Structure 1
Amino acid sequence: MPMIAPEECRSMTEVRAGVDEIDEKIVALLGTRFRFMEAAARIKPRREDVRDEVRKAAVIDHVRRAAAAAGVPTELAANLYDMLIEGSIAYEFEKFDAR
């Protein structure tokens, strides 16, 4: 059954079904994102290359702009991405150290 657009929802059941479907898509995309972290851990030549504060700031700035364009609260998106990036860095360190 196709997801109902938020504007067309008439019950909390429809709202929750839409949110659940979106969450599944987000998690699938996170899985892909973490596979890129595995690739980064494989490609980076030195452990100290894993943490890149300049890149982190650029990603968060990009997310703020994308959030604003999508009508998403920008600071919420920035805070979520700060947590995501820190988790990604920890994951990349694990993968780097395992190689």
Structure 2
Amino acid sequence: MSDIPGSEVPGPDACQTMRDVRAGVDSVDMRLVALFAERFAYMRAAARIKPERGHVRDEPRKAQVIANAGAEAERLALPADAIRDIWDRLVEASIAYEMAEFDRLKG
């Protein structure tokens, strides 16, 4: 988001200055954080639903999630290896969060 009240953030192709680019990146970052909050809310739901702590880590599901992200990156002509690396870290952070939530709820 721009730090100028009432101003719009231009799309990437409409950017004319680095200020425009930075405002766009900052706006995307805030939307990503909001999406991460939604994703982690699903981890809280999983912690609530799963009957046993040992069910939190699911390696086949982890591999599937990372593969899905990599395939979508390839479809969008993005650096798929980088996206898979990011998703690996995201999934590991999600598992750690879910474990903590499981312990908090059922410990």
Pairwise same-fold verdict (TM > 0.5): yes
Match of 1:19 among 19, 25, 37: 25
Distance across 2 between alignment mates of 1:17 and 1:71: 24
Q: Which runs of 5+ in 1 are unaligned?
A: none
Pick the structure with more helix per residue.
1
Q: CA deviation at 1:8?
A: 1.5
Counterpart position of 1:38: 44
TM-aligned CA deviation for residue 5 of structure 1: 1.4
Distance in 1 between residues matched to 2:96 and 2:35, nearest whole Å: 18
Shift of 1:10: 1.1
| Residue identity (%) | 45
Q: CA RMSD in A?
A: 0.8
* Counterpart residue number, 1:29: 35
Match of 2:80 in 1: 74
Partner Cα separation in structure 2 for residue 8 and residue 30 of structure 1: 27
Q: Write out the 4+ residue segments of structure 1 that deviate beyond 4 Å after TM superposition.
A: none
What code does the residue aligned with 1:79 have? D
Unaligned runs of 5+ in 2: 1-6
With 19-28 and 2-11 compared, the bigger mean Cα shift is at: 2-11
